[in-house]
Structure 1
């Protein structure tokens, strides 16, 4: 058991205040994810943009009484709290969890590499869960923060641990090695992913190999030349060092290869339909496995798992049986439109307390529906008694404000009393998934957010299918994690006191409305901006409470603006006087507005000669309060127009200073957009407006490589046709086969937002990793591709219209337009699927 005194002893900190010996069980790093205040230890992390010490008071009010801090706190405000003072809270987190790890003497598998870490971890869990009580990293928790949270889960009942580790810059793996201290190492592969911050590929490999300095064995593939050379060098260096220090001479090496001699020599790889048979030589014996996948990544990941199973001494017959049953790993939480105006979060591939907590946090982030429902199966292999396990789950559902529980499984059903005692929680219990589906009634769901979370054997994907709204097979996937990454990247470039306004106009550049706003609100963005009042009203109805600026207020929308507490942009005396009249009629005072100045765009806004009259109107009454003064840069992305940008900046300074002086109070000033944030840091001022950069595009071309792609538009092949020479395709017979050809009709057309000008060979799409040109005319609902050169293509195959490997910008270049037009043109009939990695 840990308490403040024992943790302080471990950290060698200063116990500023000790008021009790309450048990500490949970580590809390994010104040928004509080579940168990009585047993939580809050460790406020400090970054250039955010100091989490500011949340201590809020958490104390919610019942947290244990804190590690790195700066003085007014102890008199927290008479019932324990405080430990340290130099660095992140280092304290690492030290504490490293101490915790050393209390256990079970096999610990550490996994690193460029790709495949999470898949290998989850497949090892599937392969070994019958033999061990396993603790593992939730999802892909592999960072300087994720690893400590993963390892802290280790409990006396666990018999095996599997943790993954990733790094983004040199020096980080030293910390993670002390925390994980793996006895078994797996290096999955090496690639260019996340290479920023490293001089070259060998430096990245050597940094990652630090994880295995104290391991008993390291499993890796010899087929990566640089990896093999670095491993051999690492093994030699560590061996010499350990020998000098009286150690065992470094980790044993277990290699596999498809090209050369190795401990596990792959002899053949035969793909057939949806299975792959892999034959190998191991200790002069011929062995084989079969896996239900045919892609190269899955084959490589499976061989790593096979090598580990052989090292552990598992019988080959058992290995074969379990390998054949490997299942897909969902790497993300998906948010989809559900039946009866509901939203469905599908996370049905595995279930443990760690991943349940993550999924509930994501559910809690959604504000679009007042009712929150959880469909939950038995939790298997927890190592706890059912009574204590489901008491903890029931408490968790209570803390996360869940309204309805549909529980499926005999174990959870036997503990129904734990859930029935939760105030305000409606419950239903079923023995099997089949039983629930047989009794399923769509009328039971309406205007709610539903989390589907089950152990693999319960096949909850079947429940997801009946809950999700049936829609067009063309879908736009939105990566919420990528948006969060891009926002944080821009925030890191801002001065500490500069606020951030996020542009969510035009359906968030085609990405969605409340789904994006929920994310931005959760991540602490200061303001949202929409184009028209009805967009703001929709966000308010979906539970968005943060300030929202309306950029194009119309007199007809003034009622809605006042009723829903939206903040209009005022750009002319005419609009100002009309709005003041409306505010006066409504009996309101000091209603927030934003003043738009025209400094060179010459679209909307007050010009310099208007300032005296504007100042007089604003100060003549207390009807309005100016929240911000802003302007719009015309060409911040263009180096050739930098003189214009600087001229706009100087004019904005003059005009805003004159207006603010007349007002007599301080207001927020902002002029910089996405490109301006990076190219003109002197214009960041009090706030910046982040638009297209948030969605993964840098119009200034200075940081495109650091941004993550947000959107993937995909569809499917409806039909394949074999054409003879001379046969034509599409309306107007615009394309003629010059030789025998294969065409694919795909389910997308100009009604979905695919530009007609991309027809007749101008545009291309990706199928099975190969480009296929659009042939003939783009029709309303369908178009055709030439797929003659793509082997093994099948009806139903996925078609990428744009995404990671075929950018929106490339599509825009082909269409002779800009990325904004492509994104905002995606039709509302195209189903949006949101996911968090």
Structure 2
């Protein structure tokens, strides 16, 4: 991309200030990206929870000079190029539409409820031998993601595949203008995002707007869809049962029998689950429309593979952290992966293991010179390149070791060469980089807790949207991040620029500091012996009694600190910790004019904010907090932050937001309000595998104490997870269940220390298959209700011997 700003100004309807002769070669919406440079056009997007305009001066100091804004500070006039618009998101979309108009080649537009990304990735694989394809990276299918995808086109591409996702009426019309597909693909219509539409019919009608000018619509024939397709739309349909479909298909196991007006043939798929089969048929229909022969279709469809749609963070050998993106290598997704590497780096040293890059659209010299510059801007310390092309062009890189093949890499592999670093592993499928991940991954328990970082970001933004302008946000990461992993969550929250982190004890805060977290951290329950360490590590203690205050002042004097930030806890009815009304005079006398400390905030804790029947008590707590904190502030002539609301308080008592709120369990997708839960996303999914399957006869028993006696022939599977991993024994004996291949399998017998057994009679599964202990189903809320406890206890009970795997969709 090389565009002159003077041509962009009318395209996005901007008022301009600056040098109209400037050129731009990349677009950014993320002020934190290390890829921003003097050729970047930065769109300052504004939303409920962020405002890109806040980072203009910071970006200018980093060498970014071109900005699309709704306004800019007067002091920056003449220092940069400003394109002033009414709405920066609309401007980004107008820019993408302008850019799209410069290219004229077939575009496949994909939408639906399920399968969009898989179909897009499979089509890329199936069509890539003949086409140089530009496609949406990962799941970039939103109002922001689609324009960013379009901007990735270059003059060497001759086929595009873009997916479009919507959740509200009116969104698809905006995306259609950007994508302008010549070929439309409609995947499965499910229940996703139903809440944004008045009816299922309205949702289908909105999705169909993507294809209003397409030359063909490819879809599974369906009376519900047929009734809503606009008159005059040319279609190419398939069906298992409808004789009016253009292509008739029957299935037997992994084989599909295809009958068209021109061909009758059979294809073999490497799977037989219904979702994968439907997605494969959709791809087959595209190949037929493109005129591929049955022989080529047969050959390529049997090579389809599971699509890994997420970047995973894993623990590696020798204190390394791995970012696993081992199934995909193209330029656009490389840029995303490098931003993720910077977001999740857990060591200062950054290494990238990269295969040859396919389908960039550029000549190889241009491609690898560009990649080298990208690595330089992202401050990558070491590059390991694998493949003929990256080896040939190694001279563009200053810090690279290359190998012609993955086998060559393993010939030279020494595990001691990898330690104390974050490693991005990014390779195209033919290079089998999953084998590199296996070599470098720390071998631990087969049971894993998968943490969805996208879901954490979503839930964070959901609660941010409930805050009044200017209200600060503290997020609690105590108790090992509610069982999810403190550092990784803290790193993401720091990336999202929350104002404070909260932990229970000093050792938790020290661990975060040692891991590189620099943002403010409040210690909610500091112990007197930890005060010196708190000061040494720049942590901020909560002070809840006169005795504790005196102790901290003595330590502060020993360290010769002044104005050290502390937080005063008031007891407004919880009666756990905090100054009571009778203590205020003493507190004021001790702290007034004391140079050692500075009150950063005043807080209290709600006891019943999640219990509607106790609403009056919560209101009395808020009123008491207002009274006591006002007295304290008035007497000391200070204006610290005030905060009392927790997760349920944010939702139920918005008038009590004061200056800051504290988000806890809500970040992890848990709410006491069933309606609110619909808008939150599940963060943690606890999974394990089937170790062994056995069949027992009537009268035989399972487990300690023979608590389960089979009444008939029964198939039993053993799972390597038990109460030492945090699964309560009371969840056994058919109270609880696991999910095996989408079916409930009741837990039978007593749960053991390291194992439990489930009844899988009638469920098709094998040893080594994955099982789900909790996640979407059963949720921790369902488990908690059945066990007479709360979701907090379920989450925080998961042992640290259970490996955490962090991923981004």
Query: In structure 2, what is the Cα distance between the partners aligned to 1:701 and 1:608?
Result: 37
Of residues 412, 419, 423, the one that matches 1:450 is: 423
Give the Å deviation of 1:262: 4.1
Query: In structure 2, what is the Cα distance between the partners aligned to 1:149 and 1:737?
Result: 58
Give the Å deviation of 1:812: 1.6
SS at match of 2:185: strand
Query: In structure 2, what is the Cα distance between the partners aligned to 1:450 and 1:130?
Result: 30
Which residue of 2 is the match for residue 339 of structure 1? 317
Query: In structure 2, what is the Cα distance between the partners aligned to 1:154 and 1:388?
Result: 15
Give the Å deviation of 1:674: 0.6
Matches within 5 A, 1:47-62: 47-62=47-62
Higher mean C-alpha deviation, range 84-93 or range 641-650: 84-93
Of residues 393, 402, 405, the one that matches 2:380 is: 402
Q: Per-residue displacement from partner, 1:451-485 (whole Å, max 9, x unpaired)?
A: 10011111100000001000111111010100100
The 8 Å contact of residues 326 and 434 in structure 2, kept in 1 or not, is answered as yes
Higher mean C-alpha deviation, range 780-789 or range 452-461: 780-789
Q: Is 1:819 matched up with 2:763?
A: no
Give the Å deviation of 1:367: 4.1
With the length of structure 1 as denominator, give the TM-score of the two structures.
0.95
Query: In structure 2, what is the Cα distance between the partners aligned to 1:701 and 1:12?
Result: 44
Give the Å deviation of 1:381: 2.2
Which residue of 1 is the match for residue 11 of structure 2? 10
The 8 Å contact of residues 479 and 836 in structure 1, kept in 2 or not, is answered as yes
Which residue of 1 is the match for residue 208 of structure 2? 209
Q: Is 1:830 matched up with 2:802?
A: yes
Q: Is 1:489 matched up with 2:490?
A: no
Q: Per-residue displacement from partner, 1:172-199 (whole Å, max 9, x unpaired)?
A: 1111010101000001021111112210
The 8 Å contact of residues 110 and 180 in structure 1, kept in 2 or not, is answered as yes
With the length of structure 2 as denominator, give the TM-score of the two structures.
0.98
Higher mean C-alpha deviation, range 378-387 or range 143-152: 378-387
The 8 Å contact of residues 736 and 746 in structure 2, kept in 1 or not, is answered as yes
Of residues 358, 361, 364, the one that matches 1:380 is: 358
The 8 Å contact of residues 475 and 830 in structure 1, kept in 2 or not, is answered as yes
Matches within 5 A, 1:519-534: 519-534=492-507
Q: Is 1:536 matched up with 2:509?
A: yes
Which residue of 2 is the match for residue 351 of structure 1? 329
Query: In structure 1, what is the Cα distance between the partners aligned to 2:747 and 2:669?
Result: 26
Query: In structure 1, what is the Cα distance between the partners aligned to 2:143 and 2:195?
Result: 17
Which residue of 2 is the match for residue 799 of structure 1? 771
Which residue of 2 is the match for residue 392 of structure 1? 370
Matches within 5 A, 1:577-616: 577-616=550-589
Give the Å deviation of 1:427: 2.5
Give the Å deviation of 1:370: 1.2
Alignment CA distance shift 1:17-1:110 (3 Å): same
The 8 Å contact of residues 263 and 294 in structure 2, kept in 1 or not, is answered as no
Q: Per-residue displacement from partner, 1:358-411 (whole Å, max 9, x unpaired)?
A: 111111012421111110111122221222211111111111111111111111
In structure 1, stretches of 5+ residues that fail to align are 240-250, 421-425
Q: Is 1:637 matched up with 2:610?
A: yes
Matches within 5 A, 1:199-598: 199-223=198-222, 225-231=223-229, 234=230, 236=231, 239=232, 251-271=233-253, 276-283=254-261, 285-420=263-398, 426-598=399-571
Which residue of 2 is the match for residue 242 of structure 1? none
Query: In structure 1, what is the Cα distance between the partners aligned to 2:711 and 2:374?
Result: 65
Give the Å deviation of 1:72: 4.2
Give the Å deviation of 1:285: 2.8
SS at match of 1:32: coil
SS at match of 1:38: coil
Give the Å deviation of 1:586: 0.2
Higher mean C-alpha deviation, range 206-215 or range 49-58: 49-58
The 8 Å contact of residues 221 and 228 in structure 1, kept in 2 or not, is answered as no
Matches within 5 A, 1:640-651: 640-651=613-624
SS at match of 1:141: coil
Count of residues in Structure 1 that have an aligned counterpart in Structure 2: 808
Q: Per-residue displacement from partner, 1:95-143 (whole Å, max 9, x unpaired)?
A: 1111111111100010010010000000000001110110000100000
Give the Å deviation of 1:700: 3.6
Which residue of 2 is the match for residue 181 of structure 1? 180
Matches within 5 A, 1:613-624: 613-624=586-597
The 8 Å contact of residues 136 and 146 in structure 2, kept in 1 or not, is answered as yes
Query: In structure 1, what is the Cα distance between the partners aligned to 2:491 and 2:327?
Result: 25
Q: Per-residue displacement from partner, 1:204-258 (whole Å, max 9, x unpaired)?
A: 11111111111111111114x4223222xx2x1xx3xxxxxxxxxxx31111111
> What RMSD in Å do the two structures reach over aligned CA positions?
1.2
Query: In structure 2, what is the Cα distance between the partners aligned to 1:294 and 1:370?
Result: 45
Give the Å deviation of 1:704: 0.6
Query: In structure 2, what is the Cα distance between the partners aligned to 1:49 and 1:706?
Result: 16
Give the Å deviation of 1:77: 2.8
Which residue of 2 is the match for residue 140 of structure 1? 139
Q: Is 1:658 matched up with 2:631?
A: yes
Give the Å deviation of 1:620: 3.3
The 8 Å contact of residues 761 and 776 in structure 1, kept in 2 or not, is answered as yes
Give the Å deviation of 1:793: 2.1
Query: In structure 1, what is the Cα distance between the partners aligned to 2:13 and 2:660?
Result: 41
Give the Å deviation of 1:657: 0.6
The 8 Å contact of residues 608 and 614 in structure 2, kept in 1 or not, is answered as yes
The 8 Å contact of residues 221 and 245 in structure 2, kept in 1 or not, is answered as no
In structure 2, stretches of 5+ residues that fail to align are none
Q: Is 1:810 matched up with 2:782?
A: yes
The 8 Å contact of residues 60 and 78 in structure 1, kept in 2 or not, is answered as no
Give the Å deviation of 1:284: 5.0
SS at match of 1:196: helix
Which residue of 1 is the match for residue 32 of structure 2? 32
SS at match of 1:435: helix
The 8 Å contact of residues 386 and 411 in structure 1, kept in 2 or not, is answered as yes
SS at match of 2:323: strand
Which residue of 2 is the match for residue 43 of structure 1? 43
Q: Is 1:99 matched up with 2:98?
A: yes
Give the Å deviation of 1:80: 4.2
Query: In structure 2, what is the Cα distance between the partners aligned to 1:358 and 1:679?
Result: 37
Query: In structure 2, what is the Cα distance between the partners aligned to 1:524 and 1:12?
Result: 32
Query: In structure 1, what is the Cα distance between the partners aligned to 2:694 and 2:32?
Result: 54
